[in-house]
Structure 1
């Protein structure tokens, strides 16, 4: 393992953070390809989870109860990502709920305005995330729990990009999906599974639930619009996270 190999993987991890977060990562010159960074999506999720966990610990240190501490932690995670996954969920709900045919659904999803379906989906998802975290987080190490959850919920995204066609002939999803190989998708899954095994209780229940939720999101997207977009990936991340939390809460 030479220095250039390590530098290449570090650059890919930085690019994944640039794509999935709003954290300052400096400049990459030359930059890796978008597809090369796909394996590091779980690492970007782990960083977001760690930020949320640190905020939770800080809130607890200030004497806050679990519920307000969870609200602050969730808010920190949303700020760290720029709300990109939440935006994807809202756009997907608006498109799938309000569009008549495939073209209309894609047109609605591209519209920056949020409709009633999007608002409802977003509110329910945030409420469910807060309630479930307030239930399952006490009793666990919050920093490591949220780190593992962030990694697990992003690990299946390159698999969707590998297995599904891009729904649009243009855009970021199309250019990235054309080059994502089985090795990159498999490496993302492996990284996510390792971090989930290390930091999440139960392992099999949250992993199975996250995989099932991602698969259902992908099947729905294939039926509704013929493939994936960035919005579909954002919605899939939230679906995987909520499904994992539901499995942990029910265990």
Structure 2
């Protein structure tokens, strides 16, 4: 079995609830393939979000309800993994300037006030932005593009040179596993495909990808400075802020 096959299995099994056999081997090469192919693994989630928006609009449902249903389906289809990571990352960054204590807070898994507030604010931004996109007639494009953009930034967060905050865990497995040229290629492909998104001006698609990457980069830089690198939670947080930024651009 090739690293690509194992990488696809790792990406799909980690990022979605789609049933797939477990990879036979997980090493840094397989992890790099998985993070680079994150957008492809998320295609079913993007398709579901787009179909929910299309169905909701066809039925004449309120735009806010349609947006909430679409984003909720994506969260369900990813086991809430990224939302949990966002909350844990916020709790860790807000806990203490002591790196060890911050990592301990993130490891616990329960959500404190900082995490809950951050989760609420980001979800409000996502839902409000998608509601605006639906109201302006390009909700399907916004939903699909934002979901895929959120998974594209995984290659940025796992690019060579980005350290792991811990010696174990998902972050340690994937940190620095994506060659810089591959991460750059993912960005270029994402921007190019976004420019061709039906229903959106070319520049708005490119702007959505650019803002998504910028938001993820800011959070990533803060986590590297504050806790020394990435963890699985940090990756999830970067996905969610990228989705929010991309949706704002499309709204």
Cα offset for 1:150? 1.4
Does 1:193 find its partner at 2:191?
A: yes
Does 1:25 find its partner at 2:23?
A: no
What is the aligned counterpart of 1:153 among 102, 127, 150?
Answer: 150
CA RMSD of aligned residues (A): 2.4
User: What residue in structure 1 maps to residue 236 of structure 2?
Assistant: 234
User: What residue in structure 1 maps to residue 218 of structure 2?
Assistant: 216
**1:103-114, aligned counterparts within 5 Å?**
103-114=100-111
Cα offset for 1:115? 0.6
The separation in 2 between residues aligned to 1:183 and 1:208, in whole angstroms, is: 17
User: What residue in structure 2 maps to residue 84 of structure 1?
Assistant: 81
Asked if 1 retains the 8 angstrom alpha-carbon contact of 2:9 and 2:22, the reply is no
Cα offset for 1:176? 2.1
User: What residue in structure 2 maps to residue 64 of structure 1?
Assistant: 61
Query: Which structure 2 residue ranges, 5 or more long, are not aligned?
Result: none
Q: How many residues align?
A: 244
TM-score, normalising length: structure 2: 0.87
The separation in 2 between residues aligned to 1:47 and 1:193, in whole angstroms, is: 20
What is the aligned counterpart of 1:52 among 34, 41, 49?
Answer: 49
The separation in 2 between residues aligned to 1:242 and 1:213, in whole angstroms, is: 9
The separation in 1 between residues aligned to 2:60 and 2:113, in whole angstroms, is: 37
Question: Which moved further from structure 2: 144-153 or 180-189?
Answer: 180-189
The separation in 2 between residues aligned to 1:137 and 1:145, in whole angstroms, is: 8
The separation in 2 between residues aligned to 1:48 and 1:191, in whole angstroms, is: 19
SS at match of 2:249: helix
Asked if 2 retains the 8 angstrom alpha-carbon contact of 1:206 and 1:243, the reply is yes
Asked if 1 retains the 8 angstrom alpha-carbon contact of 2:158 and 2:175, the reply is yes
The separation in 1 between residues aligned to 2:192 and 2:85, in whole angstroms, is: 27
Cα offset for 1:237? 1.1
Q: 1:184 to 1:37 in 2, by over 3 A?
A: farther
Asked if 2 retains the 8 angstrom alpha-carbon contact of 1:41 and 1:188, the reply is no
Cα offset for 1:38? 2.0
Asked if 2 retains the 8 angstrom alpha-carbon contact of 1:42 and 1:192, the reply is no
SS at match of 2:158: helix
**1:99-178, aligned counterparts within 5 Å?**
99-162=96-159, 163-178=161-176
What is the aligned counterpart of 1:205 among 207, 217, 226?
Answer: 207
Question: Which moved further from structure 2: 79-88 or 211-220?
Answer: 211-220
Cα offset for 1:58? 2.5
TM-score, normalising length: structure 1: 0.87
